[in-house]
Amino acid sequence: MNKIKIVIYNNFNIGDTFFAQPFARNIVENNKDTFDFYFLCKFNTCAYTDTIPEIKNVIEYPELLEDFKIYNKDCNIEFYGPVCPHNFMIHHYIPNKRILFINTWIGNFIKDINTNPYILNLYKDNNFEEMNVVSYIKYYQNTLNDIYNKYNIRINYNPNDKILLPIFPKLDSMIINKFINFKKQFNKKFVYLINYPGCSKQPLSFKSITDFIHIINILIQKNYIVLLPNKDSELLSYKLNNNINDMYFMTDEFNLTIDNSCRNLYYCTKFGNMCDITISFDTGRNYLYMNDDFINNQNNNKKYHFGSWDKFYNNLLNNKLLAPFNYVTFIKAITYRDIVNYIDINL
């Protein structure tokens, strides 16, 4: 009999797919001889292809992709559209095709835990908190238990809290060396200033590109080289119109390809970790430095996280089970002025 195909999918954004990677890695490692594993996400594919050799991309298997689309239609989810309605379904099994779909988007669970009686009963003792990946352990265990109870499919899972952080994808050493040589041209310190916009309506300390320009200006005034991962058109115009030399867009400077693999994000994060300072905010792409490799091989990069609230910081960045004390410094900043003032006085 053919092995059951397990499709791990996530309809959402970089932070969602990044922090779902450890679950995928966990069940593949503990069941790779029992099942065939596949993944499907709109982007950030390298977080899976480059870290889990045994997992396959559904996009490369047209028949399986068609099965997924049919399943999605049944669940009222438009996978390829801009919005995914929150019709709750953590898992779904097609017996005659021996295909099991597992939804790893944590947001679906969060939105329905207090409204769906079945889900509320299943996870009532979970003590679940968004972005606290330690609290995800019991959620995943309960999900797999529910799969066993409903479909008689047993999937082994290791509840060790030491394997909860993502693994960073392998990158081309030639491109990394290009960045090292770039840095050698300057006798200045480097700041990796993460300027990705939020995709999930997170409250941010800056409200516009004009706000962000004030942050860039204070850093340049303090004699830093500013590296930006996102080539924003307004920031590009500002750079050109004002003849600013100490601000660089990393995708251009290092010829990084932007595609569904999102490997460019990981190069920027890697380069950022090689800078003197990283400045981050409350969006998923900012958290890529929360990975097993960076934490276990710390360098002199100082990380400052500015936020108008401390929920994500306390649940993720300051969680002693995940990272050493002060791996990231949190500064509460309601507006961009708070960020500018902090930089002016402390950096």
Tens-digit pLDDT profile for residues 94-119: 999 999 999 888 766 665 555 556 55
Tell me what pLDDT residue 121 has.
63
pTM of the prediction?
0.90
Mean pLDDT score, 7-17: 88
Q: Is the pLDDT of residue 323 over 90?
A: no
Distance CA 10, CA 107 (A): 10
User: Residue 333 is encoded by which pair of tokens?
Assistant: 């900043």
Mean of pLDDT values over 67-77: 64
Q: Which of 25-29, 187-191, 311-315 has the lowest mean pLDDT?
A: 311-315
Token pair for 127: 């003590």
Model confidence pLDDT, tens digit, residues 268-297: 999 999 999 999 998 889 999 999 999 999
Q: Which pLDDT value is given to residue 81?
A: 34
- Give the tens place of pLDDT for each residue, 214-233: 999 999 999 999 999 999 99
pLDDT at 88 over 50: no
Residue 23 has pLDDT above 50, yes or no: yes
Is residue 71 predicted with pLDDT exceeding 80?
Answer: no
**Which residue has tokens 């800056």?**
206
* pLDDT tier at 253, thresholds 50, 70, 90: very high
3-state secondary structure of 304: strand
Q: What is the pLDDT of residues 30-46, one digit of tens each?
A: 999 999 999 999 889 99
Output the DSSP codes for 187-203.
SSEEEEE--PPPSS---
* SS3 at position 139: helix
What pLDDT, on the 0 to 100 scale, is given for residue 177?
Answer: 97
Has residue 83 got a pLDDT over 60?
no
Q: Which residues contact 211 (CB under 8 A, 6 or more apart)?
A: 335, 336
- Mean pLDDT computed over 236-257: 96
Name the percent of the chain lying above pLDDT 90.
63
Are the C-beta atoms of residues 16 and 148 closer than 8 Å to each other? no
Q: Is the distance from CB of 71 to CB of 101 less than 8 angstroms?
A: yes
pLDDT the model gives residue 86 = 40
- Give the mean pLDDT of 190-199: 87
| Burial track 30-65 (b if 16+ CB lie within 10 A, e otherwise) | ebeeebbbbbbbbbbbbbbebbbeebbbbeebeebb
Per-residue tokens: 340:
């500018």
- Show the tokens assigned to 314: 């306390």
Backbone angles phi, psi at 210, to 5 degrees: -60, -45
| Average pLDDT value for residue range 237-259 | 96
Q: Which positions ≥6 away from 325 have C-beta within 8 Å?
A: none
C-alpha–C-alpha distance, residues 336 and 347, integer Å: 16
Compute the mean pLDDT over every residue in the chain, rounded to the nearest whole number.
Answer: 87
Q: Is the pLDDT of residue 313 over 90?
A: no
Between residues 66 and 241, the one the model is more confident about: 241
